[in-house]
Structure 1
Amino acid sequence: MTQAHPMDRQAVYDGYERARQTFHRLLDAASESDLARPTRGTRWTNGQLLWHMLFGYLAVRALLVLARVFGRLPRGVSKVFARLLNAATAPFDLINYAGPVGAVKVITPRRMGAAFDRVISSLRRQLEAESEAGLARGMHYPVRWDPFFKDFMTLADIYGYPTEHFDFHHRQLTLGEAASRAQT
């Protein structure tokens, strides 16, 4: 995201709200068997993937802190940090997979919905408080960790990231497919 023009904050807020409403619709309509069904293109179940989609928003809070810190340092520092993280992709992938597998055993869909509401509210408040200069700060990211990470991301990019992540994974869910197949 270029910072030649001010960030369209309203577009980010709108994306957050659309994702929040979609997340609640998905949770509200899903039965236990829907949540246990495999997804398309992942090793997760629908319930596990929904958790991962929520986690994308939760993780942004840490990504913002990192970008604020590294954004004040010479860019080479974050480049080295990103290289180190890229070298640790295998352990990251294992943790990234196992986290949702364990999380859905203790966190109910209702609690996931409440957590989604809280994180959206928190990100919105943080974005409202950001200056344009702050939004232009950034750092290098480990591009091997996520297909939506770019080599260098500004805070503005990071605020937009979780909805892009959400939309990608939303297409992998198989919720409601069994019901729609039964009707045809």
Structure 2
Amino acid sequence: MDESVDRRAIHEQLEYARTTFHRLLDGATEADLRRPTAGTRWTNEQLLFHMLFGYVLIRPLLALLRIFGRLPRRVGRTFARLLDAGTRPFDVVNYLGPLGGAKVLGRRGMGTAFDRVIADLHRRLDAERESDLAVAMHYPTRWDPFFRDVMTVSDLYRYPTRHFDFHRRQLTLTADGP
């Protein structure tokens, strides 16, 4: 059985997210951006920042995976349990980050940042060795519903688009219904 990863599919997911993000951001009025979202305590602008940040986090998550993925599984499992124990502080930071981040970057900065992070992920994915895409580690499953107990490098490249699609449905923009 061929264990190779469909890089083209991951590249397509990244491009889908990039073009969708720009469509959402560019089509939003200032009133749209200030409007509350459905099911979160954020505004649309803050949720868009949170969606962007899901991609930004992949770089440090890949670094962690490269370290813990080469250690004995019990070490990674213990680390994931420690992170799960810190879910409450993580949730606070996860909530507060977009409150300031959206204001600091603004509409234009978020669009530019999204383009940069997607371009970086494309380059990184192209540079990955096939064997490295299969490296895996345990993840804190309480931090995010899209984290699985064990995730590979290729899973991490797919993760932010799942996160993106979930939150996209919570946006209340008039130009793009959920």
- What TM-score, normalized by structure 2, do the two folds share? 0.96
1:106 is displaced (CA, Å) by: 1.4
Unpaired segments ≥5 residues, structure 2: none
2:169 pairs, out of 163, 171, 174, with: 171
> 3-state DSSP class of the match of 1:139?
strand
Give the 5 Å matches for 1:124-143.
124-143=122-141
> 3-state DSSP class of the match of 2:57?
helix
The Cα offsets for residues 81-135 of structure 1, whole Å up to 9 and x where unpaired, read as 0000000000000000000011122111111000000000001110111111101
Residue 64 of structure 1: aligned partner: 62
Residue 43 of structure 1: aligned partner: 41
Say what the alpha-carbon RMSD is for the aligned residues.
Answer: 1.5
- In structure 2, how many angstroms separate the alpha carbons of the residues matched to 1:5 and 1:172? 35
Distance 1:145 1:129, change over 3 A: same
2:93 pairs, out of 83, 92, 95, with: 95
Unpaired segments ≥5 residues, structure 1: none
- In structure 1, how many angstroms separate the alpha carbons of the residues matched to 2:13 and 2:173? 21
Residue 146 of structure 1: aligned partner: 144
Distance 1:93 1:4, change over 3 A: farther
> 3-state DSSP class of the match of 2:137?
strand
- In structure 1, how many angstroms separate the alpha carbons of the residues matched to 2:99 and 2:58? 20
**Post-superposition, which runs of at least 4 consecutive aligned residues in structure 1 deviate over 3 A?**
none
- In structure 1, how many angstroms separate the alpha carbons of the residues matched to 2:4 and 2:83? 30
- Name the % identity: 62
Q: How many equivalent pairs are there?
A: 177
1:73 is displaced (CA, Å) by: 0.7
